[in-house]
Amino acid sequence: MRPIEYQNHTRIKENHYDRAKEFMRDYLTKLLLQGIHRIDYMKGVSLPHSLIERPKTDMHGDYASSIALAVARQVKRSPQNIARDIVAHLPSDPKWIDQVDIVAPGFINFRLTKQWLWHALRGILEEGSVYGRAHLGGGKKVQLEFVSANPTGPLNVVSARAAAVGDALAHILTSVGYRVEREYYVNDAGRQMDLLVASVDAAYHRLQGIDVSPPEGGYHGDYIEGVARRILDEDNGKYVNMTPPERQATFRDLVLEKILDNQRECLKRFRLRYDVWFREQELRESDALDDVLSRLRDGGYVYENDGATWFRSTGFGDEKDRVLVTSDGHPTYFLSDIAYHRNKFERGFEWIIDLWGPDHHGHITRMKAAMEALGYDPGALELRIVQQVNLLQAGEKAKMSKREGRLVSMEAFIEEVGVDVARFFFLMRKTSAHLDFDIDLAKRQSEENPVYYIQYAHARICSILRHADESEAGTARAEDVSMTLLDTEEELTLVKRLLMYPEVIERCAASLEPQGLTAYLQEVASDFHPFYHRHRVVTENGDLTAARLMLVEAVKLVLRNGLSLLGISAPEKM
């Protein structure tokens, strides 16, 4: 699989298809408006934002308008009559518009000519790996922060879901013209870190037969001992003789690096890369926390009570005020997080997207409040929750809760089901909804699950292309191929499906939900397979072969582009 190059997204060449696509949407709207303006009783009527929609079934044409229904009340006429009047005044265009129908209760349905489909198919092939990109983002600088698990242990399955979603979103946003930077925030400061280090310290001693009791509320998992053992293996126990404060300070770095290494390795295995690993410690060492505190204080959003320092977030719709500095003088995670997000704004991002775990649900309001108090546009901060994952195994739910201590590590998980399957299953569901992941199902039905269905379509096409290559069929130059030979129902259906791709991407980008793309790719595959069964691509008929090869090439293109946005491989053989 050849990855798509995302770098030059701002310079998408203008071509056939771009023009045609915009033309068709705008053009139909323009036609409608022309028709409308020629009708006396439509003068001064307020129209809806969008006049053209895409019908759910192609029984209702390629495009449709419900304008007559929308204005019926205003002009006090029946929708049917209005639709009739509009259509009667519509300029005709036999080249691209095949048919305009009026259907009860007043829809106007447009059916495009095959000429249009063939023309557009050529456009897809011309665009190649760039097909589906758009300019929506306008080069806007956006930061996407995701996973950002505490460095207190291995990544778990919720992290894996966030990883899949974040990576897909980064690809999607890039492809529609944003400049995306991926960031991982490392909470390497604060009390949890202290606890972690103390826990490893205890284990480190235990391994040498020295009884040191672990700290209260400390960490227990096997990985604690694993880290301790690795430190011990590397240093032959030389840290035992240090004073506890010395040792803790030394351990702090060692432990952190070991765990981060583990996390990075795991993410890498999931085919993930980050542009920036941001350390909380960096903020702590600078005066960022004090600075943010004094700025909030200057704004009058801070007060003291019971010895603690509070942020008046209730002024921004929060249900209660929040502590910034505890009564024993520790800055809270919240304060540090405010400083972090301020830092993001200061780095010049115009759009800041965080994917948070379900346990951070309650933090959204207060964080937005803090940014508003600091004078930033809370609308530029997008805080999304990646909902929890319920793992089902043997029909039982295994809750992914740290508190219950039942964690399935991300590493073990992707080892179990594979990267492609894991990613696809995570992206099949809306990010904001809880997800049931049946491991047995994913494995047992692995041969019939949707990932393979899509990948198989791709591999099958590659196989056809190989076959065509060997038999030296369809070697005509693209511009000499007559697309008009693609005239069966299956072929036209496929072309129409391929033409929806840019809209799908745009919708995913707008909603920050990759889910629509997984569904779409399944549809492409399920349009392709029947086509394959009913029609031979490589035949004695050279012209037809050439045309079908082009169609099949376009299907392959869309599958590959789409899968690569999801971070899923498009194998040439399976």
Contact 170, 225 (CB under 8 A): no
Contact 502, 134 (CB under 8 A): yes
Site size toward RNA (CB under 7 A) is 96
Nearer to RNA, 232 or 506 (CB): 506
* Piece of 338-346, 409-417, 453-461, 494-502 that binds RNA (CB under 7 A): 453-461
**Strand order from edge to edge, sheet including 322-325:** 302-305, 308-311, 322-325
* Piece of 51-59, 176-184, 236-244, 409-417 that binds RNA (CB under 7 A): 51-59
Q: Would you state the structure tokens that stand for residue 366, as one six-digit string? A: 């207060």
Counting contacts by CB under 7 A, is residue 78 touching RNA?
A: no
Nearer to RNA, 179 or 387 (CB): 387
Q: Which has the closest alpha carbon to 493: 121, 194, 208?
A: 121
Contact 147, 267 (CB under 8 A): yes
Counting contacts by CB under 7 A, is residue 105 touching RNA?
A: yes
- Smallest distance, Å, CB 444 to RNA? 9
As a 3-state breakdown, the chain gives helix, strand, coil percent values, each rounded to 5, of 55, 15, 30
Contact 90, 32 (CB under 8 A): yes
Q: How many CB atoms lie within 10 A of CB 157?
A: 25
Counting contacts by CB under 7 A, is residue 319 touching RNA?
A: yes
Gap between the Cα atoms of 173 and 146, Å rounded? 14
Contact 560, 458 (CB under 8 A): yes
Gap between the Cα atoms of 149 and 152, Å rounded? 8
> Looking only at residues 230 through 289 of this chain, which bind RNA when binding is defined by CB under 7 A?
none
Counting contacts by CB under 7 A, is residue 220 touching RNA?
A: no
Which of 4, 28, 36, 64 contacts RNA by CB under 7 A?
Answer: 64
Counting contacts by CB under 7 A, is residue 295 touching RNA?
A: no
Counting contacts by CB under 7 A, is residue 221 touching RNA?
A: no
Gap between the Cα atoms of 557 and 314, Å rounded? 52
* Piece of 27-35, 236-244, 302-310, 346-354 that binds RNA (CB under 7 A): 302-310
Q: How many CB atoms lie within 10 A of CB 521?
A: 29
Residue with tokens 């929890």: 388
| Residue 390 CB partners (closer than 8 Å, separation 6+) | 397, 398, 399, 400, 434, 435, 436, 437
Query: Strand (E) positions, 290-350?
Result: 302-305, 308-311, 322-325
- Smallest distance, Å, CB 152 to RNA? 7
Which of 9, 42, 83, 107 contacts RNA by CB under 7 A?
Answer: 107
- Smallest distance, Å, CB 5 to RNA? 25
Helix ranges (H only) for 347-473 are 364-373, 410-417, 419-428, 439-444, 450-470
Which of 27, 277, 316, 532 contacts RNA by CB under 7 A?
Answer: 532
- Smallest distance, Å, CB 539 to RNA? 7
Q: Tell me, residue by residue from 350 to 379, as one string, x for binding to RNA by CB under 7 A and - for no binding.
A: --------xxxxxx----------------
Counting contacts by CB under 7 A, is residue 469 touching RNA?
A: no
Which of 247, 453, 476, 485 contacts RNA by CB under 7 A?
Answer: 453
Counting contacts by CB under 7 A, is residue 387 touching RNA?
A: yes
Which of 34, 99, 463, 475 contacts RNA by CB under 7 A?
Answer: 463
- Smallest distance, Å, CB 279 to RNA? 12
**Cα–Cα distances in angstroms (integers) from residue 336 to residues 132, 330, 331, 350, 399, in the given order:** 40, 11, 7, 21, 30
Q: Tell me, residue by residue from 416 to 445, as one string, x for binding to RNA by CB under 7 A and - for no binding.
A: ------------xxx-xxxxx----x---x
> Looking only at residues 125 through 154 of this chain, which bind RNA when binding is defined by CB under 7 A?
150
Nearer to RNA, 71 or 130 (CB): 71
> Looking only at residues 170 through 189 of this chain, which bind RNA when binding is defined by CB under 7 A?
187
Nearer to RNA, 114 or 363 (CB): 363
Q: Tell me, residue by residue from 496 to 525, as one string, x for binding to RNA by CB under 7 A and - for no binding.
A: -----------x---x---xx--x--x--x
Counting contacts by CB under 7 A, is residue 93 touching RNA?
A: no
Nearer to RNA, 371 or 400 (CB): 400
Counting contacts by CB under 7 A, is residue 76 touching RNA?
A: no
Counting contacts by CB under 7 A, is residue 565 touching RNA?
A: no
Which of 537, 550, 551, 555 contacts RNA by CB under 7 A?
Answer: 537
Q: Radius of gyration over alpha carbons of the chain, in Å?
A: 29
Gap between the Cα atoms of 22 and 14, Å rounded? 12
Nearer to RNA, 239 or 531 (CB): 531
